[in-house]
A and B are shown apart, each in its own frame.
Chain A
Amino acid sequence: MHLLSQTRVAILIVLRSRLPWLSGFFLLALCLIAYLAAQFSGRQPATVALDIGLSFIRLALPIATIVITQQLLSAEFERRYIYNSITYPNSRRTLLFGRLTAGFIITLSLLLILSTALALIVWLISGSYPQGTPVALGPPYIIVVAFIGLDLLLINTAAALLATIASSPSIVLVGTLGFVFAARSFSAIVELLTLDSGIVSNAESYRFNLSLLKYILPDLGALDIRAIALYGGLRDLPLDWHWSVLSALTYIIALIALSDRALQCKRFN
Chain B
Amino acid sequence: MSRKKPLLAALLGFSLFACIEAWRDLQPALTNPQLTSARVVISAPLLVALHGGDRFLAADLEAIRLAATGMDERGVDTDYLIRAQREVARLNACHEDNYYLANGLLTWGGAVDEGNEILRAALQCRFWDEFPAFFYGVNLAFFQHNNDEAARVLELGASRSTHNAAAMQKLAIMLRSERFADERLALNYLTQQRDAAADPKLRDMLSKRVIRLQGLIDLRTAQQRYEAAHGALSELEQLVTAGLLAELPIDPLRLGYELRNGRIELKKLKIAGLEEQP
Neighbouring A residues of B94 by C-beta, 8 Å: 227, 230-231
Partner of A37, one of B48, B53, B64, B101: B64
Verify B67–A40 contact, CB threshold 8 A. Answer: yes
State whether A55 and B53 are in contact (beta carbons under 8 Å apart), knowing that A133-B96, A188-B48, A193-B45 are contacts in the complex: no
Shortest B191–chain A CB gap in Å is: 34
Partner of A184, one of B52, B64, B67: B52
Is A192 on the interface with B (CB-CB < 8 A)?
A: yes
Choose, from B16-24, B125-133, B149-157, the stretch at the interface.
B125-133
Verify B129–A132 contact, CB threshold 8 A. Answer: yes
Is B60 on the interface with A (CB-CB < 8 A)?
A: yes
Q: How many residues of B sit at the interface, in one of the four size bands? A: 20 to 34
Is A259 on the interface with B (CB-CB < 8 A)?
A: no
Verify B55–A231 contact, CB threshold 8 A. Answer: no
Shortest A116–chain B CB gap in Å is: 20
Grouping DSSP codes into helix (H, G, I), strand (E, B) and loop, the B interface class, with mixed when no group exceeds half, is helix
Is A199 on the interface with B (CB-CB < 8 A)?
A: yes
Q: For residues 218 through 248 of chain A, which have their beta carbon under 8 Å from a beta carbon of chain B?
A: 220-221, 224, 226-227, 230-231, 233, 235
Partner of B128, one of A58, A195, A235: A235
* Bound complex: CA A19 to CA B48 (Å): 29
Is B224 on the interface with A (CB-CB < 8 A)?
A: no
Choose, from A45-53, A64-72, A99-107, A161-169, the stretch at the interface.
A45-53
Is A59 on the interface with B (CB-CB < 8 A)?
A: yes
Q: For residues 120 through 175 of chain A, which have their beta carbon under 8 Å from a beta carbon of chain B?
A: 131-133
Neighbouring B residues of A44 by C-beta, 8 Å: 96-97
Neighbouring B residues of A10 by C-beta, 8 Å: none
Is A11 on the interface with B (CB-CB < 8 A)?
A: no
Shortest B252–chain A CB gap in Å is: 31
State whether A199 and B52 are in contact (beta carbons under 8 Å apart), knowing that A48-B60, A132-B129, A231-B94 are contacts in the complex: no
Show the binding face of B for A, using Cβ within 8 Å: 43-46, 48-49, 51-57, 60, 63-64, 67-68, 90-91, 94, 96-97, 100-101, 126-129, 131
What 3 pairs across the A-B complex have the smallest Cβ distances?
A: A184-B53, A185-B53, A55-B57
- Using A189-B45, A192-B55 as known contacts, list a sample of 14 further A-B pairs with CB atoms less than 8 Å apart, ordered by residue number in A: A42-B100, A43-B97, A52-B60, A55-B51, A55-B57, A55-B60, A133-B128, A182-B53, A184-B53, A185-B48, A186-B53, A189-B48, A189-B49, A196-B90
Show the binding face of A for B, using Cβ within 8 Å: 37, 40-44, 47-48, 51-52, 54-55, 58-59, 131-133, 180-186, 188-189, 192-193, 195-196, 198-199, 220-221, 224, 226-227, 230-231, 233, 235
29 contacts between A and B (CB under 8 A): A40-B67, A41-B64, A41-B97, A42-B67, A47-B96, A48-B60, A52-B60, A58-B54, A59-B52, A132-B96, A133-B126, A181-B53, A182-B53, A183-B53, A184-B52, A184-B53, A192-B44, A192-B91, A193-B45, A196-B43, A196-B44, A196-B45, A196-B90, A199-B45, A221-B55, A224-B56, A226-B56, A231-B126, A231-B128
